[in-house]
């Protein structure tokens, strides 16, 4: 009798452990693989040090009317912290010299400062919400930031050819309640974990936007950077294109070039 109870107990214990995992085995694998891809994609990007590049931002409305801006972008990798990013406007002329400095933080809201040459003053911008639109474009602030792995949960879905390569398609769900998205689908090639496409689904689960990335170039014989990023909004018919060029890597930049005082010197 005692034996029976204990074997029953063992059996039910086994059942408790085995049954859910048997049911969720594929699921678990998919989650692990998704995380693995995300981690790898982040890892391959690390170590470039810093770079300067030119960015042309073209906003298009549904009638294909355009508005254009030119910026210089400086990025500095900082170990154990987030990256430092400086956007410096060159065109249109009346905003030339306007600068936006971002210190991205892993676990708390990013720090932002801006400098308006006409006021000759640096102001700290305490703006709550990653969900803001990025400079009135179809990119939101959260789309622009290189996403920390910890900000999403992942699930590998399938493989699919993309361009001339083979891509994995993973789903990622933002952890933060403040996100505008219910989920995103990301296409990574399995050669160098480059992102080729991201589909953004709004809070209702409707397909809101698609980012397509192309014209990858390799720098420092290691790092792949895209020259063209197009964000298309399927609901309002607008799009934003980012054209990157004139990359210069490992130039003479350090943390001192990304401080409030450095903002004034940018002109």
Assign 134 to helix, strand or coil: coil
For another protein, the binding residue among 89, 152, 187, 200 (CB under 8 A) is 89
Site string for another protein, 228-267 (x = CB under 8 A): -------xx-x-----------------------------
Distance CA 87, CA 110 (A): 15
Q: Does 176 bind another protein (CB under 8 A)?
A: no
Report whether 223 contacts 196 (CB < 8 A).
no
Neighbour count for residue 238 (Cβ, 10 Å): 18
Question: How many CB atoms sit inside 10 A of residue 64's CB?
Answer: 8
Name the minimum Å distance from CB 147 to another protein: 17
Q: How far, in Å, CA of 39 to CA of 61, rounded?
A: 35
Residues 170 and 186 sit within 8 Å (Cβ to Cβ): yes
Binding mask 23-62 for another protein (x = CB under 8 A): ------------------------------------x-x-
Closest distance between another protein and the C-beta of residue 18, in Å? Answer: 39
Write each residue from 106 to 125 as x if it is in contact with another protein (CB under 8 A), else as -, in one continuous string: --------x-xxxx-x-xxx
The C-alpha R_g of the chain, in whole angstroms, comes to 22
Rounded to the nearest whole angstrom, what is the least distance from the CB of residue 97 to another protein in the complex?
9
Could you tell me how far CA 237 lies from the centroid of its own chain? 22
Applying CB under 8 A, which residues contact another protein?
59, 61, 63, 65-67, 89, 92, 94-95, 98, 100, 114, 116-119, 121, 123-129, 131-133, 135-137, 140, 180, 202-204, 206, 235-236, 238
């Amino acid at each position: 009798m005692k034996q029976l109870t204990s074997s029953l107990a063992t059996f039910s214990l086994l059942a408790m452990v085995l049954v859910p995992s048997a049911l969720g085995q594929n699921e678990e694998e998919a989650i692990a693989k998704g995380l693995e891809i995300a981690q790898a994609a982040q890892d391959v990007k690390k170590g470039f040090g810093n770079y300067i590049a030119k960015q042309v931002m073209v906003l298009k409305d549904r009638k294909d009317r355009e508005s254009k801006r030119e910026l210089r972008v400086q990025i500095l990798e900082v170990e154990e912290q987030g990256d430092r990013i400086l956007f410096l406007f060159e065109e249109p002329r009346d905003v030339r010299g306007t600068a936006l400095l971002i210190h991205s933080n892993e676990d708390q809201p990013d720090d932002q400062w801006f400098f308006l040459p006409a006021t000759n003053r640096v102001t700290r911008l305490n703006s709550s919400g990653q969900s803001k639109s990025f400079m009135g474009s179809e990119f939101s602030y959260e789309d622009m930031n290189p996403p920390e792995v910890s900000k999403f949960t992942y699930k590998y879905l399938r493989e699919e050819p993309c361009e001339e390569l083979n891509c994995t398609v993973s789903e990622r769900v933002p952890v933060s309640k403040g996100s505008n998205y219910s989920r995103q689908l990301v296409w990574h090639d399995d050669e160098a974990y480059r992102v080729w496409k991201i589909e953004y689904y709004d809070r209702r689960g409707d397909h809101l936007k698609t980012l397509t990335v192309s014209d990858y170039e390799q720098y420092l014989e290691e790092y792949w950077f895209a020259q063209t990023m197009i964000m298309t909004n399927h609901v309002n018919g607008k799009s934003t294109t980012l054209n990157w060029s004139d990359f210069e890597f490992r130039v003479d930049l350090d943390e001192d070039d990304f401080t409030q005082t450095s903002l004034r010197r940018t002109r």
